[in-house]
A and B are shown apart, each in its own frame.
Chain A
Amino acid sequence: MSLTLTPNISNPDDFYAELIGSQRELAEGEALRMNARLVLLLANHIGDRAILSEAIRLARSPGG
């Protein structure tokens, strides 16, 4: 399996609003800490080291 790069989230506008909304009341530091928790939670859910490495690489330079 490789990193999914085609649309995979149903109702993307809903998801995006939920993500932004969840941090609306947070100070920048708190939001950064929450993002870090979110990354760790999702990374553990994925688990597959090769996929995680590919995601880290693409997050760092989106064009690959």
Chain B
Amino acid sequence: MSNYVYPRFPYVCSAEQTSGETRRHPVVVIGAGPIGLTAALDLAARGQPVVVLDDNDTVSIGSRAVCYAKRPLEIWDRLGCAEPMVEKGVSWNIGKVFFRDQLSYQFDLLPEPDHRWPAMINLQQYYLEKMLVEACSRSPLIELRWKHRLVSLKQTDDHAQLAVETPDGIFTMEAQWVIACDGANSDTRRMVVAEFKGQFFQDRFLIADVKMKAEFPTERWFWFDPPFHPGQSVLLHRQSDNIWRIDFQLGWDANPDEEKKPERVIPRIRAMLGESAEFELEWVSIYQFACRRIDNFRHGRVLFAGDAAHQVSPFGARGANTGVQDIDNLAWKLSLVLCGEAPESLIDSYHEERAFAADDNILNSTRATDFITPKTQVSRHFRDAALDLAQHHAFARPLVNSGRLSTPTPYVASSLNTPDGVPDSVAMTPGTNAADAPVTIAGQPGWLLNYLGDGFTVLTFDRAVTAKELSIDGLAARVLAVGRDIADTKGLLAERYGAAEGTTYVFRPDQYVTARFPQLDEAAIAAAVRRACGRPGPVQQELAA
């Protein structure tokens, strides 16, 4: 039923399989979905060769993930592939919530102007994956191996041994590190016997992608109890090429096999769009949603990311968006460890920070699901009461929860953070991802994030600074001075960073604030960088000596 022609990527028998000579790779990624491909791009950008194994030879079947948020776009921009996504995708900021046949209220995701990327784009997963595959193909460090299925995995202290099945049989590979991005039903997770615990929701949803020429604006529309689908909720989203995503809540008693038959789906869509609407079904699936997390993101030499590590219900677009941020967090740490610039223990902070983020996402996603699918009659009354009131009174609108849309989770309690040197300033505390801002560089307009780069960077509002780079035990931290290297023409940089004369920020390679100080203090910066790399500080070194 699809109009989309799926590309077929060629299977190639690798030299190591042909020769039977076992090779040890620095990093093997399992799964060429959005998360696995992003992992390959981020590691390659840091100079690490990567092999990606995928058991299939095409992109995602069906559209699946749809919404990509500002932060993943910033990450993909750092990796050089955000522009075609935004160009092909559909940008939106406005969300509307309806109750029965009335507009209850609307929200604007990005009321603040002067941001480079939209709050959200909607793009079919197959387009996104194809763009990521193309970006990977341009890197000499990335090898995509299609029709390669991981069948078993064994570990020692310093590597993993992988048995991989291809059309030419089974062969063995070794990897210093494995990144498992093989989705919610991860086989890799079973191979390391990890626990994956959480909550399944007693409800079913029909997810349909529909091709139609429609008059709806490019906005997220969410209905509670609409006349065309009484007693349940419906979500409508636009994707590119006039494809629309429609989610119908069906309730727990719905029969999944019956409900995905076109003769059941088409009348539901017709009831929504009207008898005369012309549309074609692209893709249909029935889901039961769950919120679950792996016990540890690290199992020895195997690191889990994306849905393989955590699963959320889709309200809030926290699935793929969170997974991309897992990689943003992991790639620089793994790269520093592989280069011998950080101790292996730095990898444990990946679990610390991303499990914290996963728990935040699961909390938000569970609350949205509980609002959308009330578990008791009384909670349904409270939900309907909030919706009744929201239509007339502003106070009730924040209580209505049709999904809290994905924003980055600050690592407020991370052990990598240096205690805040500017505690009076509320914005941009250590653990927060860098806010973007328009700046001017060499007379040309640009954006801060493009100049923060992918290493340690010091951003200082100290006008007396002379250093261009600091060296911390051989690790370089670039110094970006406002007024010298970049001009804060609109004053928004200082505003967004709550900066006064002298304010100095230290960013990690994933563009998160790891420390900030009222003045540029080289010794304090060096200590902060050491801490963010998980290196022992001078005090511990003395004790060790």
> Which A residues have a C-beta under 8 Å from some C-beta of B?
29, 32-37, 39-41, 44
B359: interface (CB < 8 Å):
no
Given A40-B389, A41-B389, verify A33-B384 contact (CB < 8 Å). yes
Closest-by-CB residue of A relative to B398 is: A44
Query: Which residues of chain A are within 8 angstroms of B381 by Cβ–Cβ distance?
Result: 29, 32-33, 35-36
Q: Is the CB of A44 within 8 A of B396?
A: yes
Which residues of B (392-425) have their CB < 8 Å from a CB of A? 395-396, 399
Which residues of the other chain, A, contact B395 by a CB distance below 8 angstroms? 44
What does the 1/0 interface line of B476-499 toward A look like (CB < 8 Å)?
Answer: 000000000000000000000000
Q: B382 contacts the other chain (Cβ, under 8 Å)?
A: yes
Which chain A residue lies CB-closest to B395?
A: A44
What are 12 residue pairs bridging A and B, where the CB atoms are less than 8 Å apart in the complex? A32-B377, A32-B378, A32-B381, A33-B385, A35-B381, A36-B378, A36-B382, A37-B385, A37-B388, A37-B389, A41-B389, A44-B396
Contacts of A37 in B (CB 8 A): 385, 388-389
**A41 contacts across to B, CB distance below 8 A:** 389
A-chain residues with CB within 8 Å of residue B385 when the two chains form the complex: 33-34, 36-37, 39-40
B243 interfacial contact with A, CB 8 Å: no
Given the complex of chains A and B, what is the CA–CA distance between A35 and B396 in angstroms? 15
Considering the chains assembled together, what is the distance between the CA atoms of A64 and B388 in angstroms?
Answer: 32
Q: Which residues of B contact A32 (CB under 8 A)?
A: 377-378, 381
Does residue B81 face the partner (Cβ distance < 8 Å to A)? Answer: no
Q: In whole angstroms, what is the CA distance A44 to B385 when docked?
A: 13
CB-defined contacts of A36 to chain B, threshold 8 Å:
378, 381-382, 384-385
Across the interface, which residues of A come within 8 angstroms of B396, CB to CB? 40, 44
Number of residues on chain B facing chain A (CB within 8 A)? 12
Chain A contacts for B284, CB-based, 8 A: none
Q: Which of B240-266 contact A (CB under 8 A)?
A: none
Q: Return the 8 tightest CB-CB contacts between A and B, nearest first.
A: A36-B385, A37-B385, A36-B381, A44-B395, A36-B382, A32-B381, A33-B381, A40-B385
Whole-angstrom distance from the CB of B401 to the nearest CB of chain A? 13
A33: min CB distance to chain B, Å: 5
Give complex CA distance A34, B389 in Å: 11
| Nearest opposing residue in chain B for A37, CB measure | B385
In the assembled complex, B386 has its CB within 8 A of some CB on chain A: yes
Q: How far is A40 from B381 in the complex, measured between Cα atoms in Å?
A: 11
Nearest chain B CB to A13 CB, angstrom units? 27
Q: Can you name 10 extra interface pairs (CB under 8 A) apart from A33-B384, A37-B385?
A: A32-B378, A32-B381, A34-B385, A36-B382, A39-B382, A39-B385, A40-B385, A40-B389, A40-B396, A41-B389
Do the beta carbons of B399 and A40 come within 8 Å of each other?
Answer: yes
Residues from chain A with Cβ under 8 Å of B389 in the complex: 37, 40-41
In the bound assembly, the distance between CA atoms of A51 and B388 in angstroms comes to 25
In the complex the two chains form, what is the Cα distance from A34 to B395 in whole Å?
17
Chain A: minimal CB distance from B225 (Å): 13
Counting chain B CB atoms within 10 Å of each CB, which of A29, A33, A34, A36 scores highest?
A36
Complex CA distance for A22 and B377, rounded to whole angstroms: 22
| Chain B residues within 8 Å of A44, by CB | 395-396
A29, A34, A40: the one contacting B386 at CB < 8 Å is A40
**For A34, what are the chain B residues with a Cβ–Cβ distance below 8 Å?**
385
Instruction: List chain B residues, Cβ under 8 A from A35.
Output: 381
A48 and B399 alpha carbons, distance in the complex (Å): 16
CB distance from B105 to the nearest CB of A (A): 15
How close is B384's CB to chain A, nearest CB, in angstroms?
Answer: 6
List chain A residues, Cβ under 8 A from B378: 32, 36
**361-395 of chain B: CB within 8 A of chain A:** 377-378, 381-382, 384-386, 388-389, 395
CB closest chain-B residue, reference A41: B389
Considering only CB atoms, which chain B residue lies closest to A33 in the complex? Answer: B381
| Distance A62 CA – B425 CA, assembled complex (angstroms) | 43
Distance of A59 from chain B, by nearest CB (Å): 13
Q: Mark B204-234, 1 if CB is under 8 A from A, else 0.
A: 0000000000000000000000000000000
Chain A residue nearest to B382 (CB atoms) is A36
Q: Report which residue of B377, B385, B395 has the largest number of chain A beta carbons within 10 angstroms of its beta carbon.
A: B385
Nearest chain B residue, comparing its CB with the CB of A36: B385
Q: How far is the CA of A29 from the CA of B378 in the complex (A)?
A: 9
Closest to A34 in B: B385
What is the CB-to-nearest-CB distance from A52 to chain B, in angstroms, rounded to a whole number?
Answer: 13
Give the Cβ gap from B4 to chain A, nearest Cβ, in Å.
Answer: 45
Per-position 1/0 for B284-306, Cβ under 8 A of A: 00000000000000000000000
Q: Which residues of the partner chain A approach B384 to less than 8 Å between Cβ atoms?
A: 33, 36
Query: A27 to nearest B CB, angstroms?
Result: 12
Minimal beta-carbon separation of B204 from chain A (angstroms): 25
Query: Which residue of the partner chain B has the closest CB to A44?
Result: B395
Give chain B residues whose Cβ lies under 8 Å from the Cβ of A40: 382, 385-386, 389, 396, 399
**Cα distance A54–B107 in the bound complex, in angstroms:** 32
- A30's nearest neighbour on chain B, judged by CB, is B381
* Chain A residue nearest in CB terms to B399: A40
Note all chain A residues with C-beta closer than 8 A to B377: 32
Shortest beta-carbon distance, A41 to chain B, in Å? 7
Complex alpha-carbon distance, A41 and B395, angstroms:
8
A29 to chain B minimum Cβ distance, whole angstroms, is: 8
A29 to B380, CA, bound (A): 11
CB closest residue in chain A, given B394: A44
Q: Which residues of the other chain, B, contact A29 by a CB distance below 8 angstroms?
A: 381
Q: How far is the CB of A43 from chain B (nearest CB, A)?
A: 9
Q: Compute how far the CA of A44 lies from the CA of B395 in the bound complex, rounded to whole angstroms.
A: 7
